[in-house]
Amino acid sequence: MERTPKRVERLSGALRFLLVALPLGCSEPLPSIRYETDQASIGTNFEQALCGHDLTWVDEHIEFLEDALDARSDDPVRIYLYVGRPPQCRGLGCYTEGYVAGDWSSIDHEIVHAIVARFAHPPLFSSEGIAEALSGRGTQRAMNATVADSLLVRDSAKLSYYTAGHFMRWLIEERGDLAAARRLLETGDADGIYGASLEELGEVYETDAPFSYPPLNPCNYTTLARVGEGHWYEEIDLTCEHPDATRFGEGWVTLLRSVELEGGTYELRVEGGRGARLLGCQEDVLYEPPPEMAFGDTQSSAEWLQTARGVLFESGKTHVLELEPGRYKIDVPSDLDRERVGIDVRAVE
């Protein structure tokens, strides 16, 4: 079996509404298992390899969910990865017949279903809500769907995943904890756990919930090496085997880094690759929608209903940027199997 080192980018994306957790009942053979990790058995229907960060993230995500939901098992989670929609799913991903099938952008969500299925089979709203809340991504308010309306939905294709996910995250953050959320999934007894029905809690949520909660572990990437006061620099031989490489952020092998900046004027230069993409990390609860380009000359990860990807700055040029204080994600995609890439960030006095 192939195996590469560990660690992965949590993709958000505008396709969240398409992640329908219902199978179609397909008899097409499943892809062969290519990877055996500590927590998963993974098959793919494509030839490209999963990179170092990809496999590590799968294991870390499963370990987090097992601990958070008190649902440990010695059995690995079976995952079948596809390019595009799997034939057995209505959307980009589903959990069916004891395994996860999905496009890469869906499996953070679908793995939650696999862990929850060990102890409960909750109704649609709670099931999809917890899968969104614990996918690892941040959650945000929907602009056009209330909790009351969403509780009545019986077709996952019509459910507001934003509302379900943000409401469940609000319950965890403001009305109890993960243990209480687990009991809700298992029993459905909101009155006994929270002292109010889901409908009543929804009314409070509509008034009190913030605009956005941050990812559960925001920008959990290796920190860019600091080489001096206000100066960060690294040069790396980038391959898919590198422990900080992912294939699924940009579609190319991509190096992932983070850097904490005090704010002000900075010079950014990258040598090699297709350039450097810079994105401000949301680390705090937001009570109002952030302004466009909230981090200065780049976006915040909370912009545009979590579809913000940052600005790609061209390779081989020095870019002078005005940036807000905070942590930033830097990724450098390459379309070569092996390439020397360098990242240089320095404060301008």
Token pair recorded at residue 249: 């952020």
Of 104-113, 180-189, 290-299, the one with minimum mean pLDDT is: 290-299
Three-state SS at 158: helix
Structure confidence at residue 306 as a pLDDT band (50, 70, 90): low
Q: Let me know: does 282 contact 218? Beta carbons within 8 Å.
A: yes
Q: Let me know: does 208 contact 230? Beta carbons within 8 Å.
A: no
Euclidean distance between CA atoms 183 and 166, whole angstroms: 18
Q: Let me know: does 50 contact 40? Beta carbons within 8 Å.
A: no
For residue range 193-221, what is the model confidence (pLDDT) as tens digits?
999 999 999 999 999 999 999 999 999 99
Does the pLDDT of residue 311 top 50, yes or no? yes
Position 9 scores a pLDDT of 29
Domains for the chain: give ranges and CATH numbers: 14-213 (1.10.390), 226-347 (2.60.120.380)
> Mean pLDDT over all residues of the chain?
90
Token pair recorded at residue 54: 């990809």
What's the chain's Rg over C-alpha atoms?
Answer: 21
Q: What percent of the chain has pLDDT over 90?
A: 81
For residue range 261-282, what is the model confidence (pLDDT) as tens digits?
999 999 999 999 999 999 999 9
For the chain, the straight-line distance linking the first and the last C-alpha, in angstroms and rounded, comes to 52
Euclidean distance between CA atoms 98 and 114, whole angstroms: 7
Local structure of residue 324 (DSSP, 8 states): -
What is the distance of C-alpha 267 from the center of its chain? 29
Structure confidence at residue 304 as a pLDDT band (50, 70, 90): low
Structure confidence at residue 27 as a pLDDT band (50, 70, 90): low
- What average pLDDT does the segment 238-264 reach? 92
For residue range 33-68, what is the model confidence (pLDDT) as tens digits?
999 999 999 999 999 999 999 999 999 999 999 999
